Amino acid sequence: MKILALSGSPRKDGNTERYINIVLEQCAAAGAETELVRVFDLSVKGCRACYGCVEKKACIWEDDFQQVFEKIKQADVLLLGSPVYHASITPELKAVLDRAGFCGRWAVSEMKAKEGAYEFNASVLSGKLVAPVTVARRAGQNFAFAQLFLWAACNDCTVVGNTYWNIGVAGKGGAKDALEDEEGVTTMKNLARRILYTASKLRPEG
């Protein structure tokens, strides 16, 4: 099982990344192949709505999106993490997700005329497990978490459940103190177990 974590945080070893690493470490200990990509370190602009991917079956704009999209396609599980900025995920992570969702759909689908009705059958993202994670100093979690959840839901992915929303409270005064949120840490450990359990049921060995 390949788990790809996309961190939308601009801070290396920040609160978001610390929560992500709890999940990755637990899953790696159980034998999963894990990788963390900091999307803030990439050069990825938002979707240009050029519709070039409809014809070419791939995004035609050359930047770092191509390399991260290859990793996304190869992954079985996507762990999507972001700090909360004004009740939203970071624009860097959203740029990656917007382009992945759009060109992922047209890679296996045909665009119809305005009068036609769509009956989408699949996306290159179909069947992937997705686990959203957000971190906020106080409020705004619901909106940011919902962004990640809704992205997964409309791209034919399965969202991994948990005993609580995968959120943490941290960052007052800019502090990297996510690990002091004991409930948040426990939630991340539970998330790792839920990922492994769900993956085992959907992709049983043999």
Q: pLDDT digits over 33-89, tens only?
A: 999 999 999 999 999 999 999 999 999 999 999 999 999 999 999 999 999 999 999
CA distance 68 to 6: 9
The 10 Å Cβ neighbour count of residue 121 is: 9
pLDDT over 90 (residue 5): yes
Lowest model confidence (mean pLDDT) among 41-55, 56-70, 108-122, 152-166? 108-122
**Two structure tokens written together for 54:** 């409809």
The per-residue pLDDT for 48 is 95
Ordered DSSP codes for 40-91: GGS--PPP----HHHHHSS--S-STHHHHHHHHHH-SEEEEEEE-BTTB--H
CA distance 101 to 109: 12
Q: Averaged over 87-110, what is the pLDDT?
A: 94
CA distance 88 to 144: 4
> Which domains, ranges and CATH numbers included, belong to the chain?
2-202 (3.40.50.360)
Taking the CA atoms of residue 60, residue 64, residue 68 and residue 70 in that order, the dihedral angle to the nearest 10 degrees is 40
pLDDT band at 205 (very low <50, low <70, confident <90, very high): low
pLDDT over 50 (residue 206): no
pLDDT over 90 (residue 204): no
Over the chain, what is the mean pLDDT?
A: 94
The per-residue pLDDT for 111 is 80
